[in-house]
Structure 1
Amino acid sequence: AQILCTVLLIKPGAWSHHLARILRKLDLEKFTVVGMKHVHLEPDIALGLLSSEAKQDPAVLEAHCTYLTSGTSLVLCLQRPNAVKKLMDMLGPEDPKVAQALNPCLWRAQYGINTVQNGFYGSESYQISVRDMKLFFPEGLCCAECQTLEEEEIYNLKCDPIVSMEINKQCKIIKHETGGQLDLLGSGQPRDLDRPVLSNLCQTTCLILPAIILRGSDPPYVELLDQLIGQGFTVTGVRLTVLDAPQAHCISEILSRAKSGVAAKCSLLMDGLCLVVAAERDNAVIGFDSLLD
């Protein structure tokens, strides 16, 4: 079977507490994640994801659009032989009750609540998957060069589209001395006071997992995410990315307590893909050292 890519969108409320479990299931089904990021859907984008049946009823259409734009979704690009059909077979029918009656192991049966909050959107055909890849990953994918993708004008990611070289000039960096050592790079900052908080102690921390963490047939980053969630963290953002030399050097300077550590961190960050994770919890920054023990 030909190796293809497809797009999976995990809808608001269905991914932040279940991310590790979902990624583990994808790995068991031999999917390779070649794109991943959190998105807040605009109404016109949400509308484009709906079936023709949902668009026929104004009330149903409004319910879908309201839900899809109500919070953050996680969109993944997945690669494996016969990817489109395999993913649709795993998701099951749009109605979670129908999926439950058909097979309780179907994803919409497990994570869906009703026909609107049914947990997932998946590209239903190869043509739609190409449209979805261009829509959600215009900057490119994190995979080896592929003639099939290049023919569709979908290319490899060369650098992170968000990381700014001006961060050192715009922000005051306060470096926190960590006691533990781990092959991941972490930094954190308190939540913006203008944003709603779960409590006065709630903080957001950011982790950068370099390629050495992402490699392996049994991805160790899934276990790490599982431990984060088990320790009461809520994952609020995820992005699979590639850093070019200036970006890697900039981040390494921010995260290094001494200039002697910049080169080593820079080498780690440039050695393949990086997974960036944002997670929040009470004392997330101050108490993170305990997770390294």
Structure 2
Amino acid sequence: MKAVKKIETQAASWCAREDRGLSAAERADLDAWLGGDLDHRIAYLRIKAAWQDDVITAAAESVVRQSAPRRWRFALAPSWAAAVATVLCLIIGGGYVLLSRPDVYATEIGQQMTVSLADGSRVELNTNTRLRAKILRHSRTITIDHGEAYFHVAHNAAVPFVVFVGSQKVSDVGTKFLVRQDGDQAEILVTEGAVRIENSKRSVQPRFAKAQDDVHVNGDAVVASKNSAQEIADKLSWRDGFLVFNQTSLAAVAAEFNRYNTKQIVVMGEARGLKIGGRFRSDNLTGFVALLHDSFGLSVQETEQAFVISK
């Protein structure tokens, strides 16, 4: 008969380690452990589900935060009870305190937000951005679901600050950097200090980026370039409510404006390749469209949902 209790303890330990972020070697060890025995996988899946359950989260937070002994009563099914007991034993025994639910921060289209985190770090969220932050004593993790954010990371050499964006894991101790996710593509722009970039799903050689490095990731393709101080300032101009373009196609300019406005710009035909340069307010859609008509002679047709631009 297999040691069920031992397997459940191992599964809970793996869930805790996975929660704070696994290295490539640890990920390989977890895969080997899961593949070595069907009971391992069953225990892992059960405790992983329990780990994310609201009731268990509340129980864990209560145990960690209580200042005096109390009685706690929970109506849990037997299959959940074993998982809860194992996880709480890890917490009470000083193993892991990782069950608190992440804080979720989100902005609507055209909205921006600055968030101060529990460790002293600060995050500036751009338009239409959603991220989850879990700042604990032994781990600091951010997961970007979509959008763009600029991080001012509080220095803590003992606890790296980790940002997950798509398949990329960006690790840092204390610096400033921009992360943007657009579908399967990600951009990491470092403005101060350095970060470590690695694929969180595949075992590949990590990449290090330092100040003024701009790293673009599209699937397995990684392209890095060096940005000038002016280029960095232009890319961060959204923090002041502006968009800056330098000989950028009108199609790309429209796509950028569309991130900040519910009413969209639709560019048709040859007008898509027209090159645009200048500094524009991200919310002044009417003024920009008027410029296209008055200065470039483009046709503008307005509907309820969009401005349609053509030659």
TM over 0.5: no
TM-score normalized by the length of structure 2: 0.21
User: Which of structures 1 and 2 has the bigger CA Rg?
Assistant: 2
Between structures 1 and 2, the one with greater strand share: 2
Between structures 1 and 2, the one with greater helix share: 1
TM-score normalized by the length of structure 1: 0.22
Quick one: higher RCO (CA 8 Å, sep 6+), 1 or 2? 1
